[in-house]
Amino acid sequence: MMKTNTYPAFPYHASELSAFLFSIDTFIVSLKNGQIIHFVADDADAFKQWLYEKGVRDINKDDGVSVIMRSL
């Protein structure tokens, strides 16, 4: 379990992050300031675990709202 608010080689602090999704080998991360960034982690599983531990929302997970409802 990683106990730091920063992740190696990732230039943002956990408190700056709003949400993320992972596609193929790239994390697409939404910052709280509205900026969207892309990040390829050396260890995708470890980075994803760090994001979960920091409470960053994974938009690929089903949150109980159907895809149809999201588009309305």
pLDDT in tens, 4-25: 789 999 999 999 999 999 999 9
Q: Say how many C-beta atoms besides its own lie within 10 A of residue 7's C-beta.
A: 20
Q: Say how many C-beta atoms besides its own lie within 10 A of residue 22's C-beta.
A: 18
Range of the domain at 36: 14-60
- Within 8 A by CB and 6+ apart from 64, the residues are none
**Domain annotation covers residue 37:** yes
**Total number of domains constituting the chain:** 1
pLDDT digits (tens, 9 = 90+) for 22-64: 999 999 999 999 999 999 999 999 999 999 999 999 998 866 5
**Domain annotation covers residue 31:** yes
